[in-house]
Amino acid sequence: MRTKKELTCIGCPMGCTVSVELEDDKIAGVTGNTCPRGKEYAENELTHPERTVTSTIPVEGGDLSMVPVRTERDIPKDKIFDAMLQIRQTRLRAPVKSGEAVIKNIAGTDVDLIATRSVSAGRIA
């Protein structure tokens, strides 16, 4: 059976509407992409979708009360809820360094969650 799916590509700023033809749940063709990233994005999105997760984690004893974090690379889309549960259960103690892995192997993905900003010890009055 042949079906068609349309996606908006997020591989570059163009935001092309990419059409993917599927035959028996296998990719038979990709059209509408302006650059090669569109084809790659569409194929990945339909076979094994992934996303970068960004959030914040509370920090105790720091000059900031929260530290922004993100996965060091994309994780499988079906692991996002598990990753967010782990993030919500985490509390950090200052100091925290930018680039530091604050959760290793988040949600069993072999991807670390890293701090994207440093938090120094000691509260600002």
Residue pair 48/75 in contact (Cβ under 8 Å)? The answer is no
Task: Give CA torsion, residues 74, 80, 82, 84, to 10 deg.
Answer: 100
Q: How confident is the model at residue 114 (pLDDT cuts 50, 70, 90)?
A: very high
Average pLDDT over residues 73-88: 98
Domain limits of the chain? 2-47, 54-115
Reply yes or no on domain 54-115 having CATH 3.10.530.10. yes
Question: Sorting pLDDT into bands at 50, 70 and 90, what band is 1?
Answer: confident
Cross-strand partners of 96: 119
pLDDT score recorded for residue 123: 63
pTM of the predicted protein model: 0.81
Which two three-digit tokens encode residue 87? 């993030």
pLDDT per residue as tens digits for the range 14-68? 899 999 999 988 899 999 999 999 999 999 999 899 999 999 999 999 999 999 9
Q: What are phi and psi of 44, to 5 degrees?
A: -65, -40
Other residues' Cβ atoms within 10 Å of the Cβ of residue 9: 21
Beta bridge partners of 7: 18
* Cα first-last separation, the chain: 66
